[in-house]
Structure formats: structure tokens, C-alpha cells
């Protein structure tokens, strides 16, 4: 059995997270998922990944509405790591259960965004790959 690196963050749906219908706006989910991703990077000793792993794919299934002041827990984990890419899966759970599930695929460009526009993906360094690999108990 393996255990994928995982992080969870708790947030409260704020007024700015809602849309004209009064429930959460779809863009809130990516912010919550990225907050969990940042937490995971810090806990794994990889804060330097911010800015060098742009998204190339993002998908979400919206399962339930979340309303202003609802507490939500967003969990994110490493689903797969390739030679140059990384797939995170995530789930947002609200007071009635799962509200959104999705995936983000990132690539390692090896330099901060803007410094190497159009840079081809680079293989993950060994220390990053090791930190992101599922742990085998």
C-alpha cells in the first residue's frame, strides 16, 4: 500500500468567493486547491516550486453548491509524477459532503515564469521526485 503526499486547508467561503447567484464562484476552487498545493510544497521542503510548475491542464467536477460562510476543507494529493509532469488530484468538501473534485497537471520548466517563456519542460530533479513520490509503509 502506498500513501501519496497530501495536504489539506480549511477555508470559509467569503463574500468575494460567491457569484450573483449567492453560491461559490467556480474560480474559488482553484485558489483553494493552490493554497493546499502551497502548503504541501512547504511541508515537503519544496517552496521553490512556486513559479516553476505552470499548469497545462485543469479540470473540475462541481458536485454541490457552497454558500457564503460555509466552512470547506480542500485536500490535494499527488496522483502521478512523470518525467517532467505532475498530476495533483483534489477534493473540496463542504457541510453537506463533497462539493468539487478535480485534477491539475503541471510541468517543470526549471526556471521562474517570465524568465524563460516558452522553455521546454525539464525532468524533475531527483530530490523533488523523491519528495513527491508516494511513500511505501
pLDDT at 85 over 50: yes
Output 59 or 121, whichever has higher pLDDT: 59
Residue 137 confidence (pLDDT): 46
pLDDT at 52 over 90: no
Q: Return d(Cα 76, Cα 101) in angstroms, integer.
A: 10
Is residue 16, in this structure, part of any structural domain at all?
Answer: yes
- Structural domain including 81 reads 6-132
pLDDT at 20 over 50: yes
Is residue 137, in this structure, part of any structural domain at all?
Answer: no
Number of domains making up the chain: 1
Residue 112 confidence (pLDDT): 57
Q: Write the burial class of residue 133 (CB in 10 Å: 0-12 exposed, 13-18 middle, 19+ buried).
A: middle
Tens-place pLDDT, residues 35-49: 999 999 999 999 988
Is residue 45, in this structure, part of any structural domain at all?
Answer: yes
Is residue 70, in this structure, part of any structural domain at all?
Answer: yes
Q: Return d(Cα 4, Cα 93) in angstroms, integer.
A: 19
Is residue 1, in this structure, part of any structural domain at all?
Answer: no
Q: Return d(Cα 17, Cα 27) in angstroms, integer.
A: 8
Q: Which CATH number do you get for residue 42?
A: 3.10.129.10
User: Cell numbers at residue 26, please?
Assistant: 467556480
H/E element, 111: none
- CA-nearest of 35, 32, 131 to 86 is 131
Residue 1 confidence (pLDDT): 47
Q: What pTM was estimated for this model as a whole?
A: 0.89
Is residue 27, in this structure, part of any structural domain at all?
Answer: yes
Is residue 38, in this structure, part of any structural domain at all?
Answer: yes
Amino acid at each position: 500500500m502506498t500513501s501519496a503526499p497530501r495536504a489539506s486547508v480549511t477555508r470559509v467561503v467569503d463574500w468575494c468567493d460567491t457569484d450573483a447567484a449567492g453560491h461559490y464562484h467556480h474560480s474559488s476552487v482553484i485558489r483553494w486547491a493552490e493554497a493546499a498545493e502551497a502548503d504541501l510544497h512547504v511541508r515537503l521542503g519544496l517552496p521553490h516550486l512556486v513559479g516553476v510548475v505552470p499548469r497545462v491542464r485543469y479540470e473540475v467536477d462541481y458536485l454541490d453548491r457552497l454558500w457564503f460562510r460555509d466552512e470547506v476543507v480542500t485536500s490535494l494529493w499527488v496522483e502521478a509524477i512523470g518525467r517532467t509532469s505532475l498530476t495533483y488530484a483534489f477534493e473540496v468538501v463542504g457541510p453537506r459532503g463533497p462539493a468539487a473534485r478535480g485534477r491539475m497537471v503541471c510541468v517543470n520548466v526549471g526556471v521562474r515564469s517570465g524568465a524563460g517563456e516558452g522553455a521546454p519542460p525539464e525532468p524533475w530533479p531527483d530530490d523533488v521526485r523523491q519528495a513527491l513520490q508516494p511513500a511505501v509503509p
